[in-house]
Amino acid sequence: MKLSQRVTNLEPSVTLAATAKAKELKAKGLDVISLTVGEPDFTTPENIEQAAIDGIKSGKVSFYTASGGTPELKSAIVDFTKENYDLTVEPQNIIVTSGAKFALYTLFQTILDAGDEVIIPVPYWVSYGEQVKLAQGNPVFIHGDQANDYKITVEHLEDVRTEKTKAIIISSPSNPTGMIYSEDELRALGEWAIRHELLIVSDDIYDHLVYNGNEAAHLASLSDEIFQHTVIINGVSKTYSMTGWRIGYAIGSAEIISGMTAIASQSTSNPTAVSQIAAVEALTGEQETAEKMRQAFEERLNTIYPKVADLPGFKLTKPQGAFYLFPNIKEAMEMGGYDNVTTWVNDLLEQEQVALVTGEGFGSPDSVRMSYSASMEELEEAVVRIRRFIENSK
């Protein structure tokens, strides 16, 4: 059968593909170290699991919930947003979705018409551009300077703004770079969006995973007017190690949220009931376990960053958040006669059984993404193997 153009033009997620390939090789008995994953490697905290078990026993999870999320979870998000963003929002400003990924998907379906443009800074999270395309929009990619941690400025935005520009996406801390925008940098972007009546999609999914005294400022918290021009994307996946539960949410104007809710009502009906109960416990229950996971990531970052930065031909600045390193490996590639990062990544996997994600999926053909969501032993061994690979390929 001839498939739709929409799906034929779609790039499958390179991160999910790399993770699947590593798992397949492991299943064949190979000693693969996979640094591909975009999820914490801890199991969900026990209090959250218990709340879900109790929820199942109560019989409450047998039925559809409201399309935009249960009143209990929306109320938990209202309180969480007050505490973390210092913002007062109403349930009508919130939609709960099947993961933050689906919040983004429904958002683009809600705000874009054919040909509308969304500005996306490079390197970007793999799904942004594809989701914009699925909504018939055009992704417009812009490059920040590597010297400024790839962060974009108003000047970069002005270079590409057209009458078709509808929105820009900012992710801070960033996947894949782990870099954070300062409050002043965010304010400048927010004021630019106000001036041109554009929407900022603020992907805050890594906002709690920040290290070494850094703090991730929230764009939406900077002023009332900036908040009016922002849709916040957040969720429980990363902070509480709940990627499998699929709960994310968006916060924005009642108009946008009601459009998104209409789409949810005709697609997923509602996010899974038991997961919503678990998410209430995540947001309102004890926060110590999440803090311990954050500390573990911080320790891994502090141990592994200097070793990776010291690899021949690797260039990177120390990330402030998320759980990825995104080194520029152009010189390492040149040492081995490589002119393509995906071939380099494939050869590394074949020769040393270390799986990384090619930078090509993030718009950066000179880089690789290494997740440090792995044990310290695996991380240290991976660095030994990568060094051997570079030295053998000279």
Which of 237/276 has CB closer to ligand PLP? 237
CA distances from 133 to 7, 10, 11, 162 (A): 10, 8, 10, 18
Question: Segment near ligand PLP (CB under 6 A), from 55-63, 97-105, 185-193, 309-317?
Answer: 97-105
Which of 100/333 has CB closer to ligand PLP? 100
CA–CA dist 209, 204 (Å, integer): 10
CA–CA dist 133, 153 (Å, integer): 24
Any bridge partners for residue 233, and if so which? 203, 250
Tokens of 336: 């081995």
Question: Does 248 sit near ligand PLP (CB under 6 A)?
Answer: yes
Tokens of 139: 């992704």
Contact with ligand PLP (CB under 6 A): which of 101, 166, 218, 294?
101
Question: Does 13 sit near ligand PLP (CB under 6 A)?
Answer: no
379: which residues sit within 8 A by CB, 6+ positions away? Answer: 35, 300, 303, 304, 372
Contact with ligand PLP (CB under 6 A): which of 38, 144, 285, 319?
38
Letters for 180-219 (x = contact with ligand PLP by CB under 6 A, - = none) are -----------------------x-x--------------
Contact with ligand PLP (CB under 6 A): which of 93, 131, 165, 237?
237
Supply the minimum distance, in Å, between the C-beta of residue 248 and ligand PLP: 4
Pairing mode of beta strands 138-143, 33-34: unpaired
Which of 285/321 has CB closer to ligand PLP? 321
Which of 77/311 has CB closer to ligand PLP? 77
Q: Can you give the length of the chain in residues? A: 394
DSSP class of residue 167? Answer: E
Nearest Cα to Cα of residue 312 among 374, 380, 383? 383
Q: Residue 125: which H helix or E strand, with range?
A: none
Question: Does 77 sit near ligand PLP (CB under 6 A)?
Answer: no
Question: Does 275 sit near ligand PLP (CB under 6 A)?
Answer: no
Question: How many C-beta atoms lie closer than 10 Å to residue 270's C-beta?
Answer: 19
CA–CA dist 347, 134 (Å, integer): 33
Nearest Cα to Cα of residue 77 among 230, 233, 199, 186? 233
Supply the minimum distance, in Å, between the C-beta of residue 43 and ligand PLP: 16
Question: Segment near ligand PLP (CB under 6 A), from 50-58, 141-149, 222-230, 235-243?
Answer: 235-243
Question: Segment near ligand PLP (CB under 6 A), from 98-106, 181-189, 267-275, 358-366?
Answer: 98-106
Question: Does 175 sit near ligand PLP (CB under 6 A)?
Answer: yes
Residues found near ligand PLP in the complex (CB under 6 A):
38, 99-101, 125, 171, 175, 203, 205, 235, 237, 243, 248
